[in-house]
Every structure is written in structure tokens, then in C-alpha cells.
Amino acid sequence: MERFTVTYRIVADDDHDAAARADAIALEDTVEIPRDVVPKGYVEDVILGRVEDVTPTGDAVWSARIAYHIDSVGHDLAQLLNVILGNASILRGVKAVDLTPDAALRARFPGARFGAAGVRALTGRSTGGFVCPVIKPQGTSSDSLAQLCYLTAVAGADIVKEDHGLAGQDAAPFRERVTACAAAVARANAERQEKGDQTQALYFPNISGPAHKIHDNARYARDAGADGLLIIPGLYGFDAMNQLAQDDELDLPIMAHPSHLGPYVLSPDHGYGHGMLFGQLMRLAGADISVFPNHGGRFGFSVEECDAIVADCRDPSGVGPAILPSPGGGMSVERLPDMQRQYGADCVYLLGGSLLRAGDGIGDVIRDMRRALTP
């Protein structure tokens, strides 16, 4: 019987304790009842998680592999996360660090619609890293934000991404802003095309609004001319993103923003491994581009943690096509050569706050970035 497996890092006192904790996870995230009352037959044989292996890996740390059947998941991504780390997320010293999908999981959760290759095709940029300015700050009018879109797009940006904090505040309401920004990027693309440029900028508005209107807002954005969608799975849920990704009518690439997800990775003892959350789970939930804070910026990810994210974004055995990692958070043009050595060409390079410092020279910064990223 085929199953998908999740590997957990478990803090325990000894082998016996580690085995008991693994058994507890297998119960907790499937049947959530004591072992002695698990019904015989289907529930015990199929639904109950099965501990495959518990191995010591360090001082007071064990690695446990638990196999789950797709029947315990059903058809919802939210329930898949319940099985992977729902109630177990509240157990002390339990961290999910790796997911190995089986065929049934891949069939129900196909992952990204476009992937790295698909996004590259949409931009028309055949080689080199992607230049991605971030449009902000909130509090600015729709016209001013649209002007930033125009200036960065006409200078050669590949993706024009809105700040994740642009959420339909009164200073720039969602529909007004998206319409103005999409038109500005379209105007820039027309000018690029006139000059013989084979590439185009893709506009990714931040899809916000009431939770049950997210899908309607995404449709509005597409109709207004958006080329992709930015969404925050840490606030709207991973399946909200997945449903946007799987919508054949929308048919747009998805960029996932890491806001509100910090506590899932910052503790060594809880939540998810960096690669699992920002690589494996983002792919599983349909992201084509996974934004994460680069090391050396104002967030505390290490070089190794960033490498793990990138590896899981690109792992050929992952769910769906390989996707684009997107490091950001206090980046500058000066850091680009180093970043390019680490992340390579299939990467979306974000530039946010420091772009604004350029003022009227904002186009020059984009052109500098473009040059630094062109092989």
C-alpha cells in the first residue's frame, strides 16, 4: 500500500521516549484518539499514520519517518497540513523537516501551474536572473504607485511586484490601484516592444480583501490586465493560494509572500524546516515563485537555510515543476554579483526599499540590476 512520508525532527529523552513520541504524532495527526480505542480494520490499517523509522541523529534529537495514506487526507490541502503537522504543531519538540510524496498525493495536489520554465517563457527572458522591483509604500496614491510600475517596467524589469502591505487601504483601493498599475505596465511593455525588446514585464498585484472574496479579486485583477498574483499563504492559508493556482480560467502564475510565517521556521524545535516550508510546501500549494528573506539582510536566515530553500524549490523529485526562489529583504544592487553566484539564473531577485532611494534615477537602478544579471 503506497503512502507519502513525513520526516520529523523529535526532541526526546531516549530511544524509548523517541519511539513513543513518534507513535503519538502518528495518532495525533490522523485519528486523534488513544491507541487502544483505534477501531480495527480500515481505520487502523489505512487511516492511522504508520511509524516507519526512528533514528537518533544528535544530542537528544531523533529523526522519525511516518507514512500516511491519502485516505486520511481526502481532497483538501488544509487537511493535508492537518495530517503533516496539525495538532502535532502544538507538541513540544516536534518539527516537520521533509515530505516525500507518493503518486496519490501528486495526483491530488499537482503543484505549480507554470514553474520556473513557465514563468521564464511568460517574460520572454531566455537567459539570466529576473529583475523584480517591489512597488511601495502603502499610503501612496494609486497614481504614484502606477508611476513606479511604469518607471521600473520601462527600464527593463521582468516582474513588477506589489508590496504585500498594499491591501486595499483607502489611499489606494484594490480595484483602482490594480487597474492603474496594470495599465502602466502595459504602456511600458508597449514602449519596450516598439524598441524591439523581446521581453516584457509581468505585473503581480497583491491579492487581498475579505477571505471569501480572494478568488473574485484575483479574477478582477486578471481582467484588469494582471499577469500574475501575489498572495500571502501565512494569512490567507495555503489552500487559498492553491485554489488560485489550480484555477484553469485564471491561468496565472503565483508568487508566495512569507509574511506571518516566521514562527514556523525560527525555532529549531517547532514548525517546519526552511526547505520544507519555503520549498516543498510552497510548491505543493501551487506557488511558481517563493519569496523568502535572504541571509545578510534584516532577517536572520543563514546561508545554509537559504540554500536548503533553493534546493527544495528545484528538487526534481518534488511535487510539480521546479519553481523560482526569490530572495529579498534589504537587498541592494551591490550585493547582486554575490547573490547571483549563490542563486544562479532561475531566481527572482527582489529590490524593494533601496529602490526608492534612487528617486528620479530609479530606472538606472533597474538597468544596473539588469546588467548585473545578464550573462
Site for a copy of itself in 142-171 (CB under 8 A): 163-165, 167-171
Shortest Å, Cβ 111 to a copy of itself = 16
**185 is a site residue for a copy of itself (CB under 8 A):** no
Contacts to a copy of itself from residues 36-75, by CB under 8 A:
36-39, 42-43, 46-47, 71-75
Q: Nine-digit cell at 103? A: 503518486
> Which residue, chain included where needed, has cell 520526516?
7
Stretch that binds a copy of itself, among 55-63, 123-131, 293-301, 315-323 (CB under 8 A): 293-301
Q: Which is nearer to a copy of itself, 75 or 341 (CB)?
A: 75
Contacts to a copy of itself from residues 187-226, by CB under 8 A:
208-212, 214-215
Segments of 104-190 assigned E as strands: 130-135, 159-162
Bond into 293 cis (ω within 30)? no
Stretch that binds a copy of itself, among 176-184, 220-228, 294-302, 310-318 (CB under 8 A): 294-302
Q: What is the spatial distance between Cα 69 and Cα 62, in angstroms, rounded to a whole number?
A: 23
CA-based nearest residue to 323, from 271, 296, 285: 285
**280 is a site residue for a copy of itself (CB under 8 A):** no
Contact map string, positions 297 to 316, toward a copy of itself, x by CB under 8 A:
-xxx----------------
Q: What is the spatial distance between Cα 278 and Cα 310, in angstroms, rounded to a whole number?
A: 8
How many other β-carbons are positioned within 10 Å of the β-carbon of residue 266? 13
Q: Which of 2, 53, 90, 371 binds a copy of itself (CB under 8 A)?
A: 90
**278 is a site residue for a copy of itself (CB under 8 A):** no
Contact 322/288 with Cβ under 8 angstroms?
Answer: no
Contact 348/326 with Cβ under 8 angstroms?
Answer: yes
**76 is a site residue for a copy of itself (CB under 8 A):** yes
Helix axes 214-224, 174-194, angle to 10 degrees: 30
Stretch that binds a copy of itself, among 59-67, 132-140, 176-184, 307-315 (CB under 8 A): 132-140
